[in-house]
Amino acid sequence: MSSLEVKDLHVTINGSHILQGVNFFVPENKVTALLGRNGVGKSTTLKAIMGLNPGTGSIKFGGTEIIEVTTHKIVQMGLGYVPEDREIFSSLTVKENLSLAERDEKPDYDLVYSLFPELLTRTGQRAGTLSGGQQQMVAIARALLNQNKILVIDEPTKGLAPKLVTEVANALAHVADHSTMLIVEQNLALVKAIAQNIIVMDQGKVVFEGGPENLQNESFVKSMLGVSGGHK
């Protein structure tokens, strides 16, 4: 079982009530995109799922309650996490960044290097000296090394040049074929390409759930995403 069920999730940070009763379901073997304007609580939701932001309510992973489980145990249960802003270890080499992420007996370096061959040529380079796109590859690669039941990915194409967006998007599309994924992403073209479900958040709550077709057809969804016209 690799589904994820979030019920009545509340998170308060420094006195601000950021998540105000979030409810949604991430079905098994499907890609679910969490959308919304900046500051509505998308990243906070992902961090709460990963145990990085303490919250109240219920988060069930494969039927098991994880709301009070520590982060490293959540990851060991099979939730792989790619954080916003990469958060690679800049003083470590690419190889060290990847080996730190190894959990499985046989980490899938073949998959990682087939998706991101550029990393293979930079194993000895300090990650802090990589370009933003290469750092994002390292961040995604860390999650792909292990057989995760769910991938939780936060804005993987944020701040990347268009060419790198395509490269990262292709990698995610490849992985999406055989994974359960919860992804926060502003690039709606990528969302339409890989997601089967969309969840729209506004002001700390889920305001819409449906399929990706609603991104074009539903005016309410467009307004919640702050988009006036259609998406390409």
Partner 1 sequence: MSTFLLILITGIGLGALYFLVASGLSLIYGLMGVLNFAHGSFLTIGAFTGLWISTKVFPNPTTWTFIAAMIAGGIVAGLFALLMEQLVINRLYNRHIDQALVTVGVALVVTALLAGWFGSDARLFPTPLWFMKAVTIGNAIIPIDRFIYIGVAAILLTAMLSILKFTRIGLIIRAGVENRSMVSALGINVRLAFSTVFFIGGFAAGVGGVLISVFSYGVSPLMGGSWLIYGFIVVVVGGMGSVTGSAIAAMLIGITNQFANYYLTGLGDFVVVIILAAVLLTKPSGLLGKVSN
Which residues are near partner 1 by CB under 8 A? 50-52, 70-72, 75-76, 81, 83, 87, 89-92, 96, 99-101, 103, 142, 146
For the CB of residue 74, give the shortest distance to partner 1 in the complex, in Å.
Answer: 8
For the CB of residue 81, give the shortest distance to partner 1 in the complex, in Å.
Answer: 5
Q: Which pair of tokens denotes residue 132?
A: 């933003």
The nearer residue to partner 1, 70 or 114, going by C-beta atoms, is 70
Task: Give φ, ψ of 10 to 5 degrees.
Answer: -120, 135
For the CB of residue 152, give the shortest distance to partner 1 in the complex, in Å.
Answer: 10
| Max Cα-Cα span within the chain | 49
State the CB neighbour count (10 A cutoff) for residue 173: 13
Let me know the angle formed at the C-alpha of 50 by 46 and 55, rounded to the nearest 5 degrees.
80
The nearer residue to partner 1, 101 or 195, going by C-beta atoms, is 101
The nearer residue to partner 1, 8 or 87, going by C-beta atoms, is 87
The nearer residue to partner 1, 180 or 197, going by C-beta atoms, is 180
Letter for the amino acid at 114? S
The nearer residue to partner 1, 71 or 217, going by C-beta atoms, is 71
In the chain, alpha helices (H): 42-49, 71-77, 94-101, 109-115, 117-120, 132-144, 162-176, 188-194, 214-217, 219-225
Letter for the amino acid at 194? I
For the CB of residue 128, give the shortest distance to partner 1 in the complex, in Å.
Answer: 9
For the CB of residue 95, give the shortest distance to partner 1 in the complex, in Å.
Answer: 10
For the CB of residue 77, give the shortest distance to partner 1 in the complex, in Å.
Answer: 9
DSSP-based three-state secondary structure for 163: helix
The nearer residue to partner 1, 83 or 156, going by C-beta atoms, is 83
For the CB of residue 106, give the shortest distance to partner 1 in the complex, in Å.
Answer: 16
81-118 in b/e form (b: 16+ CB < 10 A) is bbbbebebeeebbbeebbeebeeeeebebeebbebbee
Rounded CA gap, 138 and 170, in Å? 15
